[in-house]
Structure 1
């Protein structure tokens, strides 16, 4: 499914039937079928920074870690730092996510390009095909080598969503 690129090289949002297809996971989460995605996708609730309206977006979980004091999920903005959800989290980093059929209160932390390089290097080792597709989707060069994925990770905005205390998987 090819995506149109903007003049900056970033992908444009899908339109028409592709937009409907892209929004299907949101609908499934809203119907209580989030469990279908396991821990691979999450539904991020966010508030529009201009409108104040409640918004939702489904994101792929790049990393997940459960810790005794809480847990965290790492997600990436495939549309870059201009994505509405990314900018909305900058304005209001405290929000709620759904993983499976569970809701979690989280706080967003925006990772550095060096953190992104480390994360993308690990992600490419675990999911080589998906990493190649993500880089192609974003118009970033990735020749399959670790160095190219690390460089791509420096250009991709990553966000860590930290669960509030008392988190249980």
Structure 2
């Protein structure tokens, strides 16, 4: 297991940025990271996850990838209720709607990401394959439309 894959399985480390976003310090991550607040599909309680913004196709839209595939709790929760809140840059808890992108859209997103971030693409591709057995172009991508 690579060090990156090991770190992704270290719960306290992965969840640490949540506290920075909740303290309104999300701007420290620029636009590369965001805090997604979603509703637990069985508990109905708020849940939080920090994700990489794969791309910003418009000022009110951002795309994220479910690096752990359809098993990701946040992804499953958004399938049950697409309403969520997003904190990114200096924006805090902005209401949003989630939509899983089509296969065609995903292929274009991955091509742009590979072109703009070749080193990150190479690293994430290996980690994703090692962790969930899927290539980065096979995991689901979600577009968040800020309201």
Shift of 1:22: 1.0
Shift of 1:53: 1.3
Shift of 1:112: 1.6
Give 1:73's aligned residue: 62
Alignment of 1:84-103 (within 5 A): 84-103=73-92
Give 2:32's aligned residue: 40
**Higher percent of residues as helix:** 2
Alignment of 1:133-148 (within 5 A): 133-139=123-129
Structure 1: gaps spanning 5 or more residues: 5-12, 141-150, 165-169
Aligned length: 140
Match of residue 107, structure 1, among 72, 90, 97: 97
CA distance in 2, matches of 1:152, 1:37: 22
CA contact (8 A) 2:67 2:136 kept: no
Shift of 1:152: 4.0
CA contact (8 A) 2:35 2:88 kept: yes
Q: Rg bigger for which structure?
A: 1
Runs of 4+ in 1 over 6 A off after TM superposition: none
Give 2:20's aligned residue: 28
Match of residue 156, structure 1, among 131, 139, 143: 139
2:54 matched to 1:52?
Answer: no
CA distance in 2, matches of 1:84, 1:19: 14
Which digits, 9 at most, give the CA deviation of each residue in 1:7-34, with x for residues without a partner?
Answer: xxxxxx61xxx22111111111122211
Shift of 1:3: 2.6
Relative to 1, partners in 2 of residues 1:29 and 1:2: Cα closer, same or farther, differing over 3 Å?
closer
CA distance in 1, matches of 2:96, 2:22: 19
TM-score, normalised by the number of residues in structure 1: 0.76
TM-score, normalised by the number of residues in structure 2: 0.87
CA contact (8 A) 1:117 1:152 kept: no
Give 2:53's aligned residue: 61
CA distance in 2, matches of 1:2, 1:58: 16
